[in-house]
Amino acid sequence: MPTFYGYIVLSLVIFAACGEAHRDSTPDNQAAEQADSLAYPQESNLRNIRQLTFDGENAEAYLSFDEKRLTFQRKAEGMECDQIYTMTVDGEQISRLSSGNGRTTCSYWLPDGASLVFSSTEAHDPGCLPSPDRSKGYVWKLYTEFDIYRINSDGSGLQTLFASDGYDAEATVSPNGDRIVFTSTKDGDPEIYSMNLDGSDVRRLTHARGYDGGPFYSPDGSQIIFRASRPQTDEELAAYDELVSEHLVRPSNLEVYVMNADGSDIRQVTDNGKANFAPFMHPDGKRIIFSSNMDASNPRNFDLYIINIDGSKLRRVTWFDEFDGFPMFTRDGKKLVFCSNRNNNKPGDTNVFIADWVD
């Protein structure tokens, strides 16, 4: 994306691929011990945590509609940038979906389970493209080369779904299986749009100056939750406009918002002045789980939090002292998929986990 992953781990992510992902096996007699050891004492909502990947930088793992498979982006040792993979929910049968060319990001299953959407720069450059200039501090690059594609789950049938002169990425699909929501700079500012599954009927949903991104639909498809920056002062607005003119944004101050699926009735949920991202709504439609560095002295330390949709009853979920993010509930709310630096083989590794959720 800038999947917020780039900010979180600060240059530890943007994945690429060559062949199939490697998976270290976990002996059966160690499985129960691992599930217990992966949780911290304060993590009362999580039980039976299971690690699904075991090496490299793996992130943004999202369930298929039948919840039998996951799609995620991955960068293993020796890879230059991320590529898209799929795997079964037990962590087996991992295979690369994208071609290995260009940067890729933001994959998500379509309702048929036989195809997915993701973004890639492949049509513009087979390489990974230069990283953003850090002379302006920590910024995201909104690569205008990113377009949104549809692809079969076996890697065949690649077709362009949406392409503009701007950055087109961060696509997810309504649980109703009728619309795709995504972020684009096609009109200059990074805004949220929706479209039909075939790329038709594109509608702009947000209109405020500031970055709007990372959108997800609510369980019934009636609302959209997202992350956004809202520069206010003349100085903040001038700095923001300068960065956007260079296809950059600074992600250090993002809040969680919710709006109706047609873009109406936008409401701010969080208000802590920190980096809040990857919001996903609990199946009860009343709560939002998200990742934030709000309690961290080190801005790279992100944990999961859950909050009522009206902004009340904020509660911390994870307590690992590095990165926890990209949460997604199963439709019955009994399991949570997330990504974390915990139990990694080496610093910088991020892996996919699934846990039982206990309210």
All residues at 6 or more sequence positions from 259 whose CB lies less than 8 Å from its CB, including other chains: 205, 206, 223, 224, 226, 265, 266, 267
- Residue ranges of the chain with per-residue pLDDT less than 50: 4, 7-30, 32
Phi then psi dihedrals of residue 253, to 5 deg: -135, 95
Alpha helices in 128-274 (DSSP H): 234-245
- Dump pLDDT digits (tens) for 10-67: 433 332 222 333 334 444 444 545 556 799 999 999 999 999 999 999 999 999 999 9
Note the pLDDT of residue 78. Answer: 87
Q: What is the pLDDT of residue 135?
A: 86
* Secondary structure letter of residue 132 according to DSSP: P
Angle at 268 between CA 238 and CA 350, to 5 degrees: 85
- 32-41 contacts, C-beta under 8 A, 24 or more apart: 34/343, 37/343, 38/342, 38/343, 38/353, 39/355, 40/318, 40/319, 40/320, 41/319
Residue 326 · residue 336 · CB < 8 Å: no
- In this predicted structure, what is the pLDDT of residue 137? 86
207-231 pLDDT, tens digit per residue, is 999 999 999 999 999 999 999 999 9
Q: What is the pLDDT of residue 37?
A: 78
| In CATH, 5-357 is 2.120.10.30 | yes
Q: Facing residues of 51 across strands?
A: 353
Q: How far apart are CA 50 and CA 82, in angstroms?
A: 23
Q: How many Å from the N-terminal Cα to the C-terminal Cα in the chain?
A: 31
pLDDT score for 132: 87
Alpha-carbon dihedral sign for residues 73, 75, 80, 84? negative
Give the start-to-end residue ranges of the domains of the chain. 5-357
Binning the chain into helix, strand and coil, the percentages to the nearest 5 are 10, 40, 55
